[in-house]
Amino acid sequence: MTLLSIAVEKPREIAVRILRRYGEGADYLENVLEGELSGASLTSVDRALVQELTFGIVRWQATLDWLAGQKTAGRTQKSEVRILLRLGLYQIFWLDRIPDHAAVHETVEMAKRLGRSEAGFINAILRGYLREHAETEKKLQDLKLRQPALGYSHPDWLAQRWQKRWGDERLKLLLEWNNSRPPTYARLNALKTDREKLAAQWEKEAVQFLGRQWDWFEDGLVFELKSHPPLTTLATFQQGLFYVQDPGTLLAVHSLDPQPGESILDLCAAPGGKTTLIAQRMRNHGRVVAQDISMTRLDLVRQNCARLGVSCVEAQLLPLPPPSQPTPHFDKVLVDAPCSNTGVMRRRVDLRWRIRLEEIDRLRRAQLALLVNAGRQLKKKGTLVYSTCSMEPEENSQVAQEFLRAHPGFRLEDERALLPFVEGVDGAYVARLIRTE
């Protein structure tokens, strides 16, 4: 066995085990990955390779299966054989750092170690593609033009839906965005540090960073981390000097405009990114009630508050069902509603294969119920902010308009949608409503 084989064998085997467990419906891909890596003794390079293989294969699985189908007359393969074919094909056509022949050899050897009688079959398909590499690359590019959903590995119904709304060019931009690797953004915690102090500490920790700016937050608040050791090992992380958060999520808090001394309700608060930013904007002076549906989720809020030095937040279970006549005692309420998450699809790699059209209507009804509950707890002239990380109008503007039709004591002051192919951040929707009576 070559040195190269030894270097990449273990990550591949872990990746196959993760993909097998995920395919069995054990859990979300991120959770399966985290569970496997937590018990593995791997270098940072090998950990990165495991993540690259698992995320990449799930992200591109429709296109990978199309490639396999071209050599097998479209016949469906057994689960483990399908995983191994995806593994080999992904390395050949999507990864540059592993030589093609090494990728094929190790995939076939793994099939033998797993006792697969189809090792010869897998070898024939992968080596056939090695001989047709350039020709296949052209076919893959043509597939993106002829059948975008398949070429970019998305569900047909979702790609067709977006194409009708935005047209061919923007559809292509969105599909490419969903298949890109998301950067890591850090939001400075002004309760504990400032820009100059954080930058100085990051330099000592070998963190390479770049300040980023959008129009809905102040300069010096958000940084893109270009290169860094594992975040949880950093003293700056452990001390709560920053919070990992996409810039798009900051729009809801900007629209809420929390002020020191106010009383604010944050519905659906976990894991606490917006909650802790609200507290930061209030300079820890006032009252923030953070509600969610389970103690497990609320524990995440408490942990993040403790790390970031947030002391004005009270974590509470969301009452289910909500009281029919709650006391309207909050100055402002944020409803960051559960949604289809279509705006964050590049971060949630397996989401595209889990989402269903009928889920959008179910979620819309739940979102409206949360908005009604929130409105009842708001003082007169108070601010109600509704936000999602969805790009679907049924969950966004249509929910806000349905609420307004049924509650004439509110008016829409402002709304905004963030689109990845326009703003260059995760997709989001935010509406600011004012209670007039």
Rounded Cα–Cα distance for residues 431 and 416 (Å)? 6
Q: What does DSSP say about strands 263-267 and 287-292: parallel, antiparallel, or unpaired?
A: parallel
Q: Which of 268, 305, 339, 389 is catalytic?
A: 389
Using alpha carbons, select from 235, 237, 161 the residue that is nearest to residue 204.
235
Using alpha carbons, select from 408, 414, 419 the residue that is nearest to residue 431.
414
Judge whether 312 counts as a catalytic residue. no
Partners of 384 in the β-ladder: 333, 433
Chain centroid offset of residue 64 CA? 22
Active centre residues (catalytic): 389
